[in-house]
Structure 1
Amino acid sequence: MPEMTRRTTLCAAAALAAATPAARATAQTATPAAAPEAPLFGAKIWKLGNGLTVAYVENRRAPVIAQYLYYSAGAGEDPAGRSGVAHFLEHMMFKGSPHVPSGVLSRRVAREGGNDNAFTSRDVTAYYQQVEASRLPMIMQMEADRFAAALIPADELESERSVVLEERRQRTDSNPRARFQEAFRAALWGPQTWPGRPIIGWADEIRAITRDDLVGFHQHFYAPQNATLVISGAVPEDQVRALVEEHYGPVPTRAVRHRDRAAPPTAAHEPRLVTREPQAREALLLRAWMAPSLTTPRAEMSLPLEVLAHLLGGGQGSRLHAALVETGLAVSAGASYDSEAYGVTEFMVYAVPRRGVAPERLEEAANAAIGGLLQDGPTEAEVARSIRQLSAGSLMALDSFGAAPRMLGGVLAVGLPADVVEYWPSRIRGVTRDQVIAAGRAVMGEAANTTAWLLPEGA
């Protein structure tokens, strides 16, 4: 399943905020004098004796409960030559544990009217269930059972490998845009670096994964000291604490292999990539710069880069929309950046040219818009507008029942404090125009980058 993070949650909410008349009117008003700000969720956070971090957000808007268990290991921890191990293990975690036979966890949750799933990102692997609140003990018992001792049965390995390979064929190999985006990351970072490998894995390496690889990954990373449990819903805190202690307290500690990623490259593997695809129906321009995150030494640039991404490519009113879409050169254009990655990340822009527009013309116009922004900087009004819309997006995201566990779990699992989420609106409001200019020039003006085109064959 695709990863759901604070970034994706807030981006969707910020886009909705920008699109609604009421939100636009709010965004045009002056920001009132700041009062002491309440946390977004007011999460209660504690640790068990075995090292497991627990976060709880009480939410009584509906009689339901959500449980998310994050492991601080993702595709970035895949062994060399074995890309896809973290994702493959995610699949095998549904194949049974000592007291829960293969497939039973999902069937029990479905029988109770709930839902469950899992996702793997570059930085985390997470498993979650949403059920009626009184069923919390049931899902805790089952999740803790596979946490402590997943079976990873050898007789189900090959059938699940076929499932993973079919997932890759459907999501990537049969999709020209997905193939291009995978090749683009490999061009920027290198195909065998931890940022450049696909999360699902290269097909030949998926075929080479052994049960020992999966068992080793589980033993090295699936330990209480390397996990974060996030629960949100309509159960009193004292009951949650007692249930967590009962079900997760006995999970034994074990030696943990902490993240030990190789230093990222300092130069782009391929500064330019052009892919011609007979199956592509429209062209796509991508450009990405290597960028710091909140977990790197240059963390002070992260929040200004979030504001920069919004004012450059955050929908209507952004620089790229004005320069490319409103002029008729592109049907869509935007920018993205994730400050909460573990280690280096990318600052990316994209554009889809309107039919009949030459790629060179669109690229030149995009570069001119970026160059003008770097040279002169954004206006104070642009910075203020982006901050207001991003702040509004964070508040609108609270309406989603799964927002708290996704947003809190994602930051806690990469070693960031909960305050990154809880006080994000006030932190983003503290970003200045000068900080945005400095961060933009440091990244988009100086950092290694790759420009890539996906072109329909014959274009």
Structure 2
Amino acid sequence: MRNSGKAAIISILTPLFAFSSSGLAQDRARATDENSARPAVGRSSDWRTPLIGRLANGVRFAILPRKGNDPGVGLLMRNEGGFIAEHRAGERGLAHLIEHIAFHSPTTAAPDDLDHLKRIGLPLTFPAANAGSTSWRETNYYLSTKTTASSDLDALLTLLKDAASGMNLRTDAVDTSRGEVVREMADKKLGNQIYASYIGQVAPGSPNDVIDAQNSDDVPIASITTIRGLYRRLYRPANMMIVIVGNVKVDEVRSLIERRFGDWKPIGPPSRKTPFPVFQPNRIHPISFSALPEGRRTAFMTVVMPTPRPPSSRAIQARAEIMDLLVTRAINDRLAALQPSSSPGKVGIFIENGEQGHRQIMLWDNFVEDRWKPAVAGLRNSACDLATKGFTTKEWAAAKQNLVVDLEHQVAEMPMAANVEIAKDLSHALADGRHLIPPDELLRYARTMLPQIDGRSGGEWWRQQWSSGTGHLRVEAPELARIENTLSAIRSAANGPSTIPTCKYL
């Protein structure tokens, strides 16, 4: 049951699905009465309607009953306020450090028990590569239990409550955690450097551009007093969410949550809410490059736009997700057909809907050494072709058919989905004011919607999306260091001979 901070390393092959999260969205849940709960609408053969509510002290909870194949339940504790809340001097990176300390620190209930959470929790849970993560906006703790026994779940909820409100931050526990975080930052330094360079160009001013907590100099030297101050500001009932997914009795689990978290009272007055930084389109230049010796070889053509507000209805959200999936399928098929001898994943499209605080559409090409010019020209031609011609009837029909097949496959795989992964998806959806739409429900929407969407409407949708943001062309390759005027060379490649003579990128 190890814990690990979330590294900000871009994954251009991240699968797109109905659970993308929105980093800018505020908590738009309807105000509820004391100790209230409400059902969330949803129809699925794999899980029943989740119960969503809020305790009198502000702790949010969600219980999603499902059978699935897991023998136990997925348990997640989410605390709002990650790196973005580190606004005092000397606090940079300490939200991540606190996440690690939670697995080592004794608590007020067990003041001499080092590694208290792990000692009690390990026998009750399955091992996992990560049991914690910290991002710019929240810290998560997630566990997979071995059984659905109420006593096991109660024991783990007790441990999480102790971590959230009762850590004594003993010096040896803090020092052990410092070492873990320092090593983790060192291991991920290159990836973080690559990502920071990228995001600083395509989305300047966004959270992962202005926050550098993953490379913190404060972690090794912060005093216990400073750490405790941030801990008490961040870990408060109003910032906390408990999510439980599995074959459980809803009323019984709700009672456990109330028993363990209902009497929690915050220490001190609430802290001010830190406004989320947003990307600044006026700072996005047309072209950028990176020539790090250890860097990757890839070309990106992106447009970045503000994160859309959460949809007003479940149906509207489903239609938006289906269009993203459908266009992604159509473009991926086209790009693969243009390079039939390339390995899977060399070229593709990625749509990110807010995880980093903005919506981004990206075309990429992972080229081999000294082949950056053809990669740039190929992306330019593909973008121009899509903008001017849209989709052919044949490729649009194939994309619709293949999307249905993809969704059918996901429906068949639903019982195998891990409870803890669904808990993560549900927590993101709740934090963003969105619905959690399971694959079988999304498939039903798709079967109704797809016959009504032809290639022309798909092309119009794409042109509107592509023109809604600020464009940027980025090339990353070590060999760019040999070029005297790199930006001019990239511009020439982008504006060279084209399959569409009237199309110029710059």
TM-score if structure 2 supplies the norm length? 0.71
Q: Distance in 1 between matches of 2:373 and 2:346?
A: 16
Unpaired runs of 5+ in structure 1?
A: 15-35
The CA deviation at 1:349 is 2.8
**Is residue 220–residue 257 contact of structure 1 (8 Å, CA) maintained in 2?**
no
- For this pair of structures, how many residues does the alignment match? 423
2:87 aligned partner: 79
More off after superposition, 44-53 vs 70-79:
70-79
TM-score by length of 1: 0.77
Task: Find the counterpart in structure 1 of residue 502 from structure 2.
Answer: none
Contact 1:85 1:206 in 2 (8 A): yes
Match of 2:54 in 1: 47
CA-atom RMSD in angstroms: 3.8
1:51-450 equivalence runs, <5 A? 51-60=58-67, 61-79=69-87, 83-96=92-105, 97-100=107-110, 101-112=113-124, 114-115=126-127, 117-131=131-145, 132-134=147-149, 135-153=152-170, 156-173=173-190, 179-190=193-204, 193-197=206-210, 200-204=213-217, 211=224, 214-252=227-265, 255=270, 257-258=272-273, 260-280=275-295, 283-295=297-309, 303=321, 304-313=323-332, 318-323=333-338, 325-326=339-340, 328=342, 332-339=346-353, 341=355, 343-355=357-369, 358-378=371-391, 379=393, 380-385=396-401, 387-389=403-405, 391-392=407-408, 394-395=410-411, 396-402=413-419, 403-418=421-436, 423-426=441-444, 430=449, 432=453, 436-450=458-472
Pick the structure with greater CA Rg: 2
> Structure 1 residues 113, 37: CA separation in 2 closer, same or farther (over 3 Å shift)?
closer
1:147-166 Cα distance to aligned partner (Å, 9 max, x none) = 22333445554553343232
Q: CA deviation at 1:259?
A: 5.2
SS of residue in 2 equivalent to 1:201 = helix
> 1:33: which partner in 2?
none
- Indicate how the Cα distance of structure 1 residues 205 and 336 shifts in structure 2: closer, same or farther if over 3 A, else same: farther
Deviates more, 1:181-190 or 1:362-371: 181-190
Which residue of the partner structure matches residue 478 of structure 2? 456
Listed one character per residue, the Cα deviations across residues 264-310 of structure 1 (whole Å, up to 9, x for unaligned) are: 31234454332223334x62223332134344699979533343334
CA deviation profile, 1:215-242 (whole Å, cap 9, x unmatched): 4443344322222211122332232122
What amino acid does structure 2 have at the position aligned with 1:290?
V
Secondary structure of the corresponding residue to residue 128 of structure 1: strand
Q: Distance in 2 between matches of 1:442 and 1:399?
A: 37
Q: Percent identity?
A: 15
| Uncovered stretches (5+) of structure 2, i.e. residues with no partner | 18-41, 483-506
Q: Give the aligned residue type for 2:324.
A: L
Alignment partner of 2:143: what SS?
strand
Deviation at 1:249, TM superposition (A): 1.2
> Offset of 1:255 from its aligned partner?
2.9
Task: Report if aligned partners of 1:86, 1:217 keep a CA contact under 8 Å in 2.
Answer: yes
Deviates more, 1:424-433 or 1:99-108: 424-433
> In 2, Cα distance between the equivalents of 1:387 and 1:331?
18
Pick which of 299-308 and 227-236 moved more.
Answer: 299-308
Q: 1:225 to 1:95 in 2, by over 3 A?
A: same
Contact 1:72 1:123 in 2 (8 A): yes
Q: Per the alignment, in what secondary structure is the counterpart of residue 90 of structure 1? A: helix
1:416-451 CA deviation, whole Å, 9 max, x = no partner?
344588954455664745665455324433522333
Q: Please state whether the residue corresponding to 2:209 is helix, strand or coil.
A: coil
Instruction: For 1:80 and 1:266, locate their aligned partners in 2 and report how far apart those are by CA, in whole Å.
Output: 28
Change (3 A) 1:388 1:155: same
Distance in structure 1 (CA, Å) of the matches to 2:143 and 2:135: 18
